[in-house]
Amino acid sequence: MISGPVRWGILSTGGIAASFVKDLRLLPDAEVLAVGSRTPEAAALFAQRHAIPRAYGSWAELAADRDVDVIYVATPHSAHYAATALCLEAGKAVLCEKPFTLDLATTRDLLDTAKRRGLFLMEAMWMRCNPAVRRAVEMIADGAIGEVTSVQADFGLAGPFEPTHRLRAKVLGGGALLDLGVYPITAALLMLGSPDHIRAWAKLSDEGIDENTGIIFGYDTGAVATLSCGIVGQTPTAAVVTGTAGRIEFAQPFFCTRSFTVSRPGADPEVVSFDFDGAGYQFEAAEVQRCLREGLLESPLVPHAVTVEMMALLDTIRAQIGVSYA
């Protein structure tokens, strides 16, 4: 267990890593100690831009730093497995970006490694740590809108994206589903749980990744979730949860929202809002630090079972739409 500041290592130097580091600065008990990249030049430049004391030209050097308590893995999807496995075998706790890996088999392997080594491991699904989302889930569980009957959620970007872009390059785990679709799916899982029936369709690119994907979850209760993701057009990035006694609409973009509105028949709309600085990555970082201080090996907010559930759903959807990764 950690008593002083939690010392972070950042693995990768892309845009998501930069955003995460900026939000880490909002936590007084967090210290960004080191960054590692595939090249010394990239690591040094990132360290200079973000005032990070130590820069390493390889992932292995970062993982070997004895002063680092936890490593945030921010690589493209296709490298999540290798980077996280390296860090775990080096004895480091890990926060790995979503999607956790490219498939369920490699996800289970990482979770087994963390268990075997007695190390903390968490998927960086920041939506589950967002205070507004957490409050909405609590209110729904308390019956604020009655029994949930439907969830509608979308996430689409306009593009166009070059063939080498991470959203299109198959070798990087490209496609809308793994990068964007995980958010609408998470909305459905939070509000309705795991579906009993799944149907999916997608338009595939010449590279064999999904460009525009629609998903329907069916529940034996009669509830449905209609979800979509794409990289061919900007969608509202909205989420609405409807129940027998009202509905909740999240302010856009729903996955990092700061507020939501509760509407009930015969009553004025109720707006629930949260004011916070930064983009919202600090909440998942704070959860990691809380778990490390309490000696937990997984987070109650993003437990391993949820990561397994998500990867199993993604495998099923990919099989239906015809997307596979080597």
pLDDT band at 307 (very low <50, low <70, confident <90, very high): very high
> At CB < 8 A and 24+ separation, what contacts does 298-301 make?
298/120, 298/121, 298/122, 299/122, 301/128, 301/129, 301/134
User: Which pLDDT value is given to residue 159?
Assistant: 87
pTM of the predicted model as reported, rounded to 2 decimal places: 0.97
User: Which pLDDT value is given to residue 109?
Assistant: 98
User: Which pLDDT value is given to residue 2?
Assistant: 85
CA distance 79 to 106: 11
User: Which pLDDT value is given to residue 127?
Assistant: 98
Residue 309 above 90 pLDDT? yes
Domains in the chain with CATH codes:
6-125 (3.40.50.720), 131-279 (3.30.360.10)
Residue 284 above 90 pLDDT? yes
Residue 319 above 80 pLDDT? yes
Residue 111 above 90 pLDDT? yes
Q: Which of 51, 62, 68, 76 is nearest to 8 (CA)?
A: 68
H runs (alpha helix) in 38-177: 40-49, 59-64, 80-89, 104-117, 131-141, 176
98 noted as active-site residue? yes
What are the C-alpha distances in Å from 156 to residues 67, 96, 295? 40, 23, 38
CA angle 228, 104, 229 (to 5 degrees): 10
Q: Which of 225, 171, 177 is nearest to 202 (CA)?
A: 177
Other C-beta atoms lying within 10 Å of the C-beta of residue 200:
22
As to burial, measured by CB atoms within 10 angstroms (0-12 exposed, 13-18 middle, 19+ buried), residue 149 is middle
pLDDT digits (tens, 9 = 90+) for 158-213: 989 999 999 999 999 999 999 999 999 999 999 999 999 999 999 999 999 999 99
Residue 1 above 90 pLDDT? no
CA distance 133 to 258: 8
User: Which pLDDT value is given to residue 145?
Assistant: 98
Beta strands in 207-245 (DSSP E): 210-218, 224-230, 239-243
Average pLDDT over residues 114-129: 98
pLDDT digits (tens, 9 = 90+) for 20-46: 999 999 999 999 999 999 999 999 999
Amino acid code (one letter) for 154? D
Q: Which of 22, 92, 98, 203 is catalytic?
A: 98
pLDDT band at 64 (very low <50, low <70, confident <90, very high): very high
User: Which pLDDT value is given to residue 36?
Assistant: 98
pLDDT band at 157 (very low <50, low <70, confident <90, very high): very high
Residue 132 above 90 pLDDT? yes
User: Which pLDDT value is given to residue 3?
Assistant: 80
Q: What is the overall mean pLDDT for the chain?
A: 97
User: Which pLDDT value is given to residue 163?
Assistant: 92
pLDDT digits (tens, 9 = 90+) for 225-275: 999 999 999 999 999 999 999 999 999 999 999 999 999 999 999 999 999
Helix axes 80-89 and 104-117, enclosed angle (nearest 10): 10
Residue 66 above 80 pLDDT? yes
Task: Specify the DSSP class assigned to residue 224.
Answer: E
User: Which pLDDT value is given to residue 168?
Assistant: 95
